[in-house]
Amino acid sequence: MSRVDVKKASLCTSEPLSQETVGHALSAFSKIVRSCFGPTGRLKQLHNGAGGHVRTTSHSSALLGSLSITHPVLKLLTASVQNHVSRFGDAGLFTAVLCGSLLEKWRDLNVAPCTRVKISQHLLSQCLDYLPSEACGCKIPVDFSCSKILLDLVRSVLAGKRACMLSRKEADHVSLLILKAFLLTVPQNVGAGVGLGKCLYVPIKEKRVMDSMVCPGLLIETPGFHQTQLLPARITASSPIKTALFSASLSGDTGDTGEGSIIVHRGVSLEAAVLDQLLSLGQRMVKDGVGLVVCQKVIHPALKQYLKENQVVAVERVGVAMMEPLKEITGSQPIPSLQFLSPACYGNLKGLQIQYFASKWFLHLIPEDQAVCSLMLCNRNETSWDELKMTLFSHIRWGKIDCGEIKYKKEKV
């Protein structure tokens, strides 16, 4: 396809901030982020202009991801803020306001570009030296033997996001659950630098916020389970439960069996050869005493039936997002091919249960000693649930605690 217009050469300029179009774009951008910032910040409704879902939010991640930005200067600015949010999970609006204000101030000052760069680098070095120091006023001393400060901190974050549409009672309930989830991710043996476990958020939409709950271990939604179905007696009686985790498909499709080779004898169809290999794989797992088989993709019905007859629980379609937490809590190595099954790939679980919550069935995986929990998060509609989820993902993230010589003990909350 030929071009309508002749391609123009790229244009480089040393004074992009002096252009009038840049000034108008920066001013409009600054007004948007400033109006959302702080306790008096206003909500924004995002719409694509062609119909569809309308989102009400004040989150920087949602705002910057939905704005249609074409100017290179604003593209660079928004990309920088988004990178900051992805790394630190907080202060997105503040960063956008600060950067926009600096750019607007540089436009008003009659200073050479090289001088602006030096001043900016000096300010950045000052901030990097101040923020990690003990004199930083942004730090809050926390006594982990008392939950009040942590609870107030979480409650203040939720109270600042009005699009979550939480009442005072609901905000207190969610704050308490988040703090419980945090305590469940703290390992029992605390050292000078504690690596926390994981908290997985299970979305439950169109339910009361007060129905939200937290439980230790990992919950996997299993639509195939029903009320009359029970776990095999061999599973409930045994401890630990040997687990096999497959990242390769067990559906029998030849194009999705992972690496390795399939031997097909003359006169035998390819599908029959693959099915025989799947059943042979199931026999090996039963012989090795595997009690739980989890597959990222699909399990062939014949293999599922064989595993069920031999009292092995099989779960399919868990998705790629669940593979990492499953690997962590079980100690399993994801098996990428039908030919790579080895006893060294197996993991263990302390227990296995079936849970019913909000008209859904879940398989509850109880780990041996890993600090993992699941937070069943409910909200009244999709918009408020999305805002609550983004608040938790963006702001309330416990990365690493430096306990130093502080004596720590968990408090019941």
State which amino acid sits at residue 236. Answer: T
Which domains are present in the chain? 16-128 (1.10.560.10), 148-217+371-401 (3.30.260.10), 220-366 (3.50.7.10)
pLDDT of residue 405: 32
Question: Could you tell me if 50 and 127 are in contact, meaning their C-beta atoms sit under 8 angstroms apart?
Answer: no
Tracing tokens 């990492």 back to the chain, one arrives at 324
Q: How many residues does the chain have?
A: 413
Which helix (H) or strand (E) segment holds residue 400: the answer is: strand 400-401
Tracing tokens 């799947």 back to the chain, one arrives at 278
| Rounded CA separation 95/116 (Å) | 18
Query: How many H-runs (helices) and E-runs (strands) does the chain carry?
Result: 12, 14
pLDDT of residue 132: 82
| Rounded CA separation 74/337 (Å) | 46
Would you state the torsion angle of the CA atoms of residues 259, 260, 263, 269, taken in this order, to the nearest 10 degrees?
A: -10
Which helix (H) or strand (E) segment holds residue 44: the answer is: strand 44-46
Strand residues in 155-255 grouped as ranges (E) = 194-195, 198-205, 213-216, 218-221, 241-246
State which amino acid sits at residue 210. Answer: M
| Rounded CA separation 66/68 (Å) | 6
Question: Over pLDDT 90: what percentage of the chain?
Answer: 0
Tracing tokens 């790394």 back to the chain, one arrives at 87
What one-character DSSP code corresponds to residue 5? Answer: S
Question: Could you tell me if 83 and 92 are in contact, meaning their C-beta atoms sit under 8 angstroms apart?
Answer: no
Tracing tokens 């990178």 back to the chain, one arrives at 83
pLDDT of residue 191: 55
Question: Could you tell me if 54 and 386 are in contact, meaning their C-beta atoms sit under 8 angstroms apart?
Answer: no
pLDDT of residue 234: 63
pLDDT of residue 308: 87
pLDDT of residue 255: 55
Omega into 240 within 30° of 0, i.e. cis?
yes
pLDDT of residue 13: 61
Strand residues in 210-350 grouped as ranges (E) = 213-216, 218-221, 241-246, 290-295, 313-315, 347-349
Sign of CA pseudo-dihedral 277, 279, 282, 287: negative
The helix/strand/coil state of 31 is: helix
pLDDT of residue 259: 54
The per-residue pLDDT for range 258-294, each reduced to its tens digit, is 555 555 555 556 677 778 888 888 888 888 888 889 9
Phi, psi of 86 (to 5 degrees): -65, -30
| Rounded CA separation 301/303 (Å) | 5
pLDDT of residue 269: 62
What Å distances lie between residue 75 and 19, 20, 310, CA to CA? 16, 17, 58
CA-closest candidate to residue 219, choices 398, 334, 348, 360:
360
Question: Could you tell me if 260 and 212 are in contact, meaning their C-beta atoms sit under 8 angstroms apart?
Answer: no
What Å distances lie between residue 43 and 29, 32, 58, 331, CA to CA? 15, 10, 5, 44
- Give average pLDDT by consecutive 10-residue segment, the chain, 413 residues: 63 62 79 78 73 72 76 83 78 84 79 82 88 79 74 81 84 88 73 63 80 86 64 67 87 61 58 80 88 88 88 87 84 83 86 79 81 82 80 57 35 41
- The DSSP-derived string for 91-128 is -HHHHHHHHHHHHHHHHHS---HHHHHHHHHHHHHHHH
The tally of CA atoms less than 13 A away on the side-chain side of residue 6 is: 2
CA-closest candidate to residue 363, choices 294, 308, 282:
294
pLDDT of residue 11: 64
